[in-house]
Amino acid sequence: MSQLPADIEDLRLRTRAFIREVVIPAEPKPGTTLAHADRIVLMEQAKAAGVFAPHLPTEFGGQGVPLEHWPAIFIEAGYSPIGPAVLNCMAPDEGNMHMMNLIATDAQKERYLAPLGAGDARSCFGMTEPHPGAGSDPAGLQTRAERVDGGWRINGHKRFSSGADGAAFCILMATNEAIEAEGIPAGATMFLVDMDHPGMRVGNPIHTIDSTVDGGHPHLYVEDVIVSDDAVLGAPGEGFRYAQLRPGPAHLTHCMRWLGHAQHAQDIALDRANTREIFGSKIKDLGIAQEMLAQSEIDIETSIAIIDRTAHLLETDPKAGSALSSIAKVHCSEAIFRIIDRAMQLCGGDGVSDALPLASYANEVRPFRIYDGSNETHKWAISRRAASRRRHEVEAGAQPLDRVDEHGRDTWAER
């Protein structure tokens, strides 16, 4: 990880100590969830320790860490599966806070961001829908917002609304038609809607293998929900543009948090390799174990490198950073699972039991290859961007490097 400013390094070290000395001893049994009352106690301890909400501005009770330096703190938080929740930098709240801080009105920040940032409320993000609605392709958005006098009527059905059970409010995405008289383009609009608003209903839970997102991933029904214009987050018809503020950092913070899991898994594997003997040798001295441990070290370091570079670009060149976040998401989600899987293998039977947290870590990180857009969708977009970039370079005068044309002729030999 790159050299950190002194104040950020101090916060990283304090976060590291807090996670190891306070949070890890309070972890629930692997595969179970942290009780709400215990979470509140730990959050108050995090506030007292000055490590709470590292990503938020100080006026909302956070530590004011610039996005470029989030990786150093978030990876430390993720060393425990409950660390991000205790520090109030867990999805989906962290992504919602980041977006609201950028585009919400002062009144919206006071009503929604302030209690969310203080840990007094939770939120969800209503985007994913049942087929053929929005999923990896947001253009499939089916939830509709219709203009009414002084506001909007919204109808739709969401699923995988992470955190919805028990959330105080939802950032709800709905498609809208153009309203030329008001200068509203056809597109999508984001709304801030209280979860107890008439017409908002949490449906059946979706049981998944991960368990650390407080509030699960239930269905969410939006039935004739009427809200005022004050509920619009950003500008009407511009929801897809504003929503682009969320995925890049959100992809990356998932990478950071779960890389913390992977580092913890590697440390467990290293402790096992350093102390256990098999066939007359320490595990660490066996070539096959050395290969696995080395590959995990490589996966950790390459993940840190791409996370750091992406975080820097998101601050300095958001468009390029957003594109690179897709590559980071794919690389890290696959590398992190490999690291944890190797640790499980090195720890043998204990690795797949609740004697160690490794199996529960594997359950937490496996869905990341699907959540926030499947890796296959990201790879499709990555390849399209690469082909487009190279086409523009050639059109601008770069030398084509494919020697053979469509007729099989060596074009270089003819020059």
CB 119 within 8 A of CB 265: no
Distance, CA of 312 to CA of 69 (rounded, Å): 8
Q: Which amino acid is at 244?
A: Q
Q: Which of these ranges, 58-62, 127-131, 402-406, has the smallest mean pLDDT?
A: 402-406
Q: What is the pLDDT of residues 203-216, one digit of tens each?
A: 999 999 998 888 99
In 3-state terms, the chain is what percent helix, strand and coil (to 5)?
55, 15, 35
Query: What is the structure's pLDDT at 137?
Result: 78
Average of per-residue pLDDT across 316-328: 92
What pLDDT sits at residue 2?
66
Which residue did the predictor score with more confidence, 344 or 212? 344
Structure-token match 């956070």, residue found: 62
Find the range with the poorest average confidence among 154-163, 235-244, 370-379, 401-410. Answer: 401-410
Helix, strand or coil for residue 187?
A: strand
pLDDT for the residue numbered 412? 64
> What does the pLDDT read at residue 212?
83
Chain-centroid distance, C-alpha 316: 20
Average pLDDT, the chain: 93
Summarize the confidence of residues 161-174 as an average pLDDT.
96
C-alpha dist (Å) from residue 101 to 62, 93, 116, 162: 12, 12, 11, 20
Banded model confidence at residue 415, pLDDT cuts 50, 70, 90: low
pLDDT at position 36? 87
Q: What is the pLDDT of residue 407?
A: 76
At residue 250 the predicted structure's pLDDT band, cuts being 50, 70 and 90, is confident
**Sign of the alpha-carbon torsion through 136, 97, 89, 55:** positive
- pLDDT, residue 118, reads 96
Average pLDDT of span 341-366: 96
pLDDT digits (tens, 9 = 90+) for 13-50: 999 999 999 999 999 988 778 888 999 999 999 999 99
Which residues, at least 6 apart from 125, have a Cβ–Cβ distance to it below 8 Å?
Answer: 92, 95, 96, 161, 162, 163, 170, 171, 173, 246
- pLDDT(149) > 90: yes
Q: How far apart are CA 167 and CA 88, in angstroms?
A: 14
pLDDT average, residue stretch 345-349: 97
Q: Which domains does the chain have, with CATH numbers?
A: 6-90 (1.10.540.10), 123-237 (2.40.110.10), 247-395 (1.20.140.10)
CA 297 to chain centroid: 23
